[in-house]
Amino acid sequence: MNRVVSLDDGVVMVVTDLHGDWPLYERYRDIFLALRERHLVDTLVLAGDFIHSEGPPETDRSLDIVLDLMALRQTLGPRLVVLLGNHEMAHLYAVVLSKGDFTYTPRFEAALGQHRDAVLAFFDGLPFFVRTRAGVAICHAGAFPQACDRKAMARLFAFSHRDVWARGAARAPLPYREPLRRRVGELSAAPYADLVRDYLGITDPHDPHYDDYLISQFAMAEPDFDLLWAAFTESNELQYGEVAYSGYVEALLYHLSADYTPQSVLVVGHVGCRNGYRVTAGGRQLRLASGIHAYPYESARYLLFDAGKPVENIRALLPGMGSVFAH
């Protein structure tokens, strides 16, 4: 599967990290649709992490956002580009995602119900990167050390979640799953049945997803999963420092430029930003905060740019940033 989307023309609206905030999602969606009706914008790019609120359950409308995106894609087709984020990725691998004392994944898993297979299929097909004729590339988290490795990037550009999962499942064959479940329970200091109930919302041992938590332990040991984890979960410039991270951004842009227009700048989300954005990596990366990652929240921003007009630097993008609360 090709995990890179190329946009050759039209005005693009970029939104990042809405994390289950339905009122904010609805506002961005309606701004896009209104601008599109006036022929002022063509493509909406949602750059990952549209699920998982840290607020109370009644305010977390992650599933509603996903189902609306799935319906909207039927109308907009390729003019809606939804990128994978680390929060969506976690559900493809039954990974328990936490920050501090808060665990994100069980609430969404419990909410999936009859929508589980359709939603996971939607997540499975999401691309990782956008590149444009303007020279503006977009992804969820940013660059990473493996961006300097040509073979690693080739694997990432054609990544198959199903292959990683299948290799994990092959290492947990059916005849051995009962003792493996017991072993997982022992290592976790909780019965396996309690783990899948608490983390996946599954109580029926005959449920086809009952062994997903078991298989995930083997899938996460795959080298390709390590590559995926690096691409989607790291703290980027906060983790590696500006000098080293700038090199990773250069490498990522280089690989995204292959057989295409050279990519000059990278637009990402994932990490919090004061006043809704931050320029990093020697001026080659724009980190955008469209929701809860904006400090203060009212500084949340979206980005508009023309995918067909060359952009040489971040400075040329800044006039295209808009405030969702100004509408």
User: What does the pLDDT look like over 24-42, one tens digit per residue?
Assistant: 999 999 999 999 999 999 9
- What's the pTM value of the predicted model, to 2 decimals? 0.96
Q: In the chain, where are the structural domains located? A: 4-151+237-326
User: What does the pLDDT look like over 174-218, one tens digit per residue?
Assistant: 999 999 999 999 999 999 999 999 888 888 999 989 999 999 999
Q: Architecture of domain 4-151+237-326 in CATH?
A: 4-Layer Sandwich (3.60)
DSSP H or E segment with residue 193? helix 192-200
Query: How many percent of the chain have pLDDT more than 70?
Result: 100
Q: How far apart are CA 121 and CA 95, in angstroms?
A: 16
Question: Which two tokens mark 260?
Answer: 């295409």
Nearest Cα to 72, choosing from 38, 39, 29?
A: 29
Nearest Cα to 92, choosing from 209, 203, 178, 186?
A: 209
pLDDT band at 241 (very low <50, low <70, confident <90, very high): very high
User: What does the pLDDT look like over 134-180, one tens digit per residue?
Assistant: 999 999 999 999 999 999 999 999 999 999 999 999 999 999 999 99
Tell me what pLDDT residue 200 has: 87
User: What does the pLDDT look like over 270-314, one tens digit per residue?
Assistant: 999 999 999 999 999 999 999 999 999 999 999 999 999 999 899
Contacts of 145 (CB under 8 A, 6+ apart): 230, 240, 248
What b/e sequence results for 35-52 when a residue is b if at least 16 CB atoms lie within 10 Å of its CB, and e otherwise? Answer: bbeeeebbbbbbbbbbbb
